[in-house]
Structure 1
Amino acid sequence: MPETASATPVLPSSLPALSAQAERLIELGVHEIAGLPAAELRSFAEAAEDTADCDGALLAVHPDRAPASALAPLLRRDGKAGFIVVDMPDVDLFAPLDTVPLPDAPLYLLTGVDRGDRMADWSPNEALPALTAEARTPLLITEGIHWVLQQPTVLERNHCFMTIGSRLRKANGALDARTPAIWISNGTGRDGRERRDAPKVGWCWAGNRHTWLGFASATGRRSQGS
């Protein structure tokens, strides 16, 4: 397990401008994964930048177009590629909760993204109703990956985050107890020593608490013009 959380986390810097975020996704080939022309990402970002309330927004590709399994390997930290834990082969089956509606568009924005450090040492079962009461929406796995792709400093050792907007529903309708998170590997166990310090997409039990995991959330999602 990661080390005990330090007393003072380093606050992440601001997100790049939306036009720069679009270029970053194009550079990484995310538009090709999503089956979108590069020009569509650029035009979406340019139009959104003309909107008054888009400052600090995160550009995201709909998970139906760019799943977590395709995005996670694009993450980098200290020159090491991101990965998904071996016991999460079903990562792309983790879908948005019923209370997390997504825009019906290939590209959309998230506003007011926050790492949720204040909820460190809360369980997912405790954090979700608290976020809902604050009119905040939990991030999806893919949204969390998009955030780290654009703002790598948001993933800080001992101050990482969960993305509990994505959950797996069993055949009987009940939620799987695994809740996804993004953190930094210590290179132990099945991760492999060579992956120490690499970005890692994994999971924790819904009822467990971890001092080193906050709960990433946003104030909302919107497509262009909404």
Structure 2
Amino acid sequence: MHKAEFERQLTTLIQKGYPEMAGMTADEFTKNLAPLQSLAEALPIQEDDQQEGFVPFVLVVKGDWFDGEKAMQAIQRQKKAGFSVMDTEEIRRFTPIEGIEIPTGMAYLMTEIDTGKETLNVTPNDAMPILLEQQRSPLTLEEGIALITHFPDLLKKNNGFSLLGSRCGDRRVTAMWISENKPKLGWCWAGNPHTWLGSASCQARLDEKKP
């Protein structure tokens, strides 16, 4: 099950132009990500795998290797292309917050992702301690892009999600939601609640050197 899903996600990245954005051929790109497949295959299959808003794993390419604005435009949800209110340079200003350890390789696996239904209408500031108490980690901006790239239908009008794991030094928190029926990467204030925004989180981040 996980083997086929890993191959599907790898194919999706290739089809959406990630090798070109990384300055690689498709074969070179595949070779760089291939070691992660055994980690995906070793993950347990849980009952939560079928739960709405939950994903067992996502293949994440680190932000240094792709253009965030182009990646959003490559996302397709119900035949509508995604978009970002921020350009490439502004997206890159949002970096992982203290306490989040991103694996060192070009890509990694993010596991047991939840889009945050339980934190709808909770401010990002108030959602953070909830996630930490649950021993979960908030998603970064690039992880949010990865999640919607592979699972665009997870994004719903009544359940977008904030990406608390990336900040740029001000009060903004980036988020994904539906706007004009299109996937949108935007931002909201950290102290403002929204009935349609939860806070996405994951259980772990794995690479071939740190299983």
- TM range, normalised to the smaller chain? 0.7 to 0.9
Q: How does 1:24-173 map to 2 (within 5 A)?
A: 24-36=12-24, 37-40=28-31, 43-53=34-44, 56-85=56-85, 90-169=90-169
Q: In 1, Cα distance between the equivalents of 2:202 and 2:145?
A: 14
Q: CA RMSD in A?
A: 2.2
Q: Please identify, of 127-136 and 80-89, the stretch whose mean Cα deviation from structure 2 is larger.
A: 80-89
Does the residue aligned with 1:92 lie in a helix, a strand or coil? helix
Give CA-to-partner distance per residue, 1:180-209, whole Å, 9 cap, x none: 000011xxxxxxxxxx21111001101000
Alignment of 1:174-213 (within 5 A): 176-185=170-179, 196-213=180-197
Choose from 13, 23, 35 the match for 2:11: 23
- The alpha-carbon distance between structure 1 residues 212 and 18, as it changes in their structure 2 partners (threshold 3 A), is same
* Cα separation, 2, equivalents of 1:52 and 1:182: 27
Deviation by residue 1:153-199 (Cα, 9 ceiling, x = unmatched)? 10011211111101002xxxxxx0110000011xxxxxxxxxx2111
Higher helix share: 2
Structure 1 residues 133 and 202, CA gap change in structure 2 (3 angstroms): same
Q: Name the SS of the counterpart of 2:42 in structure 1.
A: coil
d(CA) in 2 for partners of 1:118 and 1:101?
Answer: 24
Query: How far apart, in 1, do the equivalents of 2:72 and 2:87 lie?
Result: 15
Q: How many residues end up aligned between the 2 structures?
A: 196
Between Structure 1 and Structure 2, which shows a larger proportion of strand residues? Answer: 2
Identity of aligned residues (%): 34
TM-score (norm 1): 0.79
C-alpha displacement of 1:51: 2.1
Structure 2-normalised TM-score? Answer: 0.85
Unaligned 5+ segments in structure 2 are: 47-55
